[in-house]
Structure 1
């Protein structure tokens, strides 16, 4: 498998179909994103949608969000998903390494992400890449 990571700069039927297949693998309760929703991500200055391809096939994706706050530039990695048939082949690592490179080049002081404890392989990957667990609570308000 020869993985290529690229920044998505155009939403076409291939991207919509791929994310329609990938996002439910991340969260069964999340609906597949529409072309309009994906375009909103691309149009937002803080967001970067990264795609992992094996040849012409999209096998993974993630969203990198980089934003300034009073204490410096920050970055968040969100919605990392690798197709179940491509897991264990370095796709997640390649996506994360590219996101880290982009964030650091943008001046991010820190890069944060969250991962459920049940995602053991993902947690091992993040630790191997140098991420450390923080002593904090994550809160969510749902509208």
Structure 2
């Protein structure tokens, strides 16, 4: 089995359908993405959207966000999701490795990500990839009431 990682640059029918299938596996509160939303996601300058394929089928996605700050170029890995049918096969690791490679090539100083404590397998993966846990508080302000 070979995992292929691709950069997504347009909102094709296949990509839109993959997000329709994958996003609910990531978040029960996220709104479904229509073609315009996927197009905005994949063409937004700060985003690099990756998909993973096994035997030609999209089975996972990750978004790498890079942004300049006064302290240097920073990057974040967001919304990593692997289809339930493909979990445990190295898909998330392949996506993460590619994202780190792209961030390094872009000149990012650091790559951050967050993960809920209950996602034990994901947390082990990130630690194996070299991420270090930080003492930090994450605050969120909900703007959409």
**Normalising by the residue count of structure 2, what TM-score does the alignment of the two structures yield?**
0.96
Quick check: 2:41–2:47 contact (8 Å CA) kept in 1? Answer: yes
Worse-superposed segment, 2-11 or 27-36: 27-36
Q: Deviations over 1:84-121 (max 9, x none)?
A: 01000000000000000000100000000000000000
How much does 1:32 deviate?
Answer: 2.0
* Residue pairs, 1:45-60, within 5 angstroms: 45-60=45-60
How much does 1:42 deviate?
Answer: 2.0
* Structure 1 Cα separation of the partners of residues 6 and 51 of structure 2: 5
* Structure 1 Cα separation of the partners of residues 13 and 45 of structure 2: 23
The alignment of Structure 1 onto Structure 2 pairs a total of residues equal to 143
Quick check: 2:9–2:43 contact (8 Å CA) kept in 1? Answer: no
Gaps of 5+ in 1: none
How much does 1:55 deviate?
Answer: 2.3
Tell me which stretches of 4 or more aligned residues in structure 1 moved more than 3 Å: none
How much does 1:31 deviate?
Answer: 2.2
* Structure 2 Cα separation of the partners of residues 68 and 123 of structure 1: 27
Corresponding residue for residue 109 of structure 2:
109
* Structure 2 Cα separation of the partners of residues 119 and 89 of structure 1: 16
Gaps of 5+ in 2: none
Corresponding residue for residue 98 of structure 2:
98
Corresponding residue for residue 41 of structure 2:
41
